Amino acid sequence: MRTILQCVAVCWLIVLAGCATQQAGKKDRKFQYVETDTGWWLIHDMNRPAPAVITPGTNSTSSSAGKAPSDAIVLFDGTDLSGWTSRDGSPAKWIIRDGYMESVKRSGPVKTEGEFGSCQLHVEFETPSPAKGSGQGRGNSGVFLMANYEIQILDSYDNITYPDGQCGALYGRAVPLVNACRKPGEWQSYDIIFHRPLFEGKKVIRKATFTVFHNGVLIHDHVVLQGGTGWRGKHAISDYEPHKDKLPVMLQDHGNPVRFRNIWIRELAD
Ligand code: MG
């Protein structure tokens, strides 16, 4: 009888110990673990996957372009227009000179042969000096993500136009937070974090978002693009037209000789 009682007591102790361990485990999971894309990880776990090592780029100066980060795709390094075409796929007609490309009036836009979706994009540009024209006719060009969504380029240094079409605007949609323009004839930069729209059939199920730095200054803070950026027409509909998951980066010819250098891209997860 004594042996049976001893066995029962031991079993209870085992069960209770198990419960206590389980409780401790739950507590640990709650207080010492984080849930991530790669599973649950103990805080400061040395086995958690580390990010890839890359070499960062270098900054540009007024006289020379910087270097792209080692994991970027260089779209334009100032030497030639290989990798760029006209809109119809024929050779690009823009001028190459002294490490930059310059838009040519009535030659149309140029686009990359490569196609991209969500990305980090770096572009440098310079509007003509001395400044010529006014409003939308002064240093007008544009950076089109997925050949569709325009971040306006304009000489908005002491040049009044409609705010949703000034330099840095998501054309016709979003006004930049500040006007961070440099003077005409000075190199400027856009650093763009873009997440593409997602479509299901003809319906957009997630709209595109833009975070944009102009000359290092935040001008769009995770802005949701509500629709297309075409001139007037499609704005009234305020909707998206479905397109491919990846499309070219495109630069606009708007009749003004705008220059570009040091263009690179890093693809991002959607
Ligand atoms: Mg434009």
CA angle (215 as vertex; 246, 115 as ends), nearest 5:
10
Q: Which tens digit of pLDDT belongs to each residue from 31-79?
A: 789 999 899 999 999 999 999 999 999 999 999 999 999 999 999 999 9
Identity of the amino acid at 26: K
Task: Return the biggest CA–CA distance within the chain.
Answer: 106
CA of 213 to the centre of ligand 1 (A): 17
CA of 19 to the centre of ligand 1 (A): 67
Q: Which tens digit of pLDDT belongs to each residue from 143-192?
A: 999 999 999 999 999 999 999 999 999 999 999 999 999 999 999 999 99
Say how far apart CA 38 and CA 191 lie, in whole Å: 29
Question: How high is the pLDDT of residue 16?
Answer: 42
CA of 35 to the centre of ligand 1 (A): 44
Question: How high is the pLDDT of residue 231?
Answer: 73
Question: How high is the pLDDT of residue 30?
Answer: 62
Q: Which tens digit of pLDDT belongs to each residue from 190-242?
A: 999 999 999 999 899 999 999 999 999 999 999 999 888 877 655 555 578 89
pLDDT-derived band at 29, boundaries 50, 70, 90: low
**Between 20 and 140, whose confidence is greater?**
140
Q: Which tens digit of pLDDT belongs to each residue from 111-154?
A: 999 999 999 999 999 999 999 999 999 999 999 999 999 999 99
Question: How high is the pLDDT of residue 106?
Answer: 95
**Residue range 243-252: mean pLDDT, rounded:** 97
Helix (H, G, I), strand (E, B) or coil at 192: strand
Question: How high is the pLDDT of residue 31?
Answer: 74
Q: How many CB atoms lie within 10 A of CB 126?
A: 22
CA of 38 to the centre of ligand 1 (A): 42
83: buried, middle or exposed (CB in 10 Å: 19+, 13-18, 0-12)? middle
Say how far apart CA 79 and CA 96 lie, in whole Å: 7
With 0.95 as the threshold, say if the pTM is over it. Answer: no
Q: % helix / strand / coil in the chain, to the nearest 5? A: 15, 30, 55
CA of 141 to the centre of ligand 1 (A): 4
CA of 202 to the centre of ligand 1 (A): 27
Q: How many CB atoms lie within 10 A of CB 24?
A: 10
Question: How high is the pLDDT of residue 239?
Answer: 74
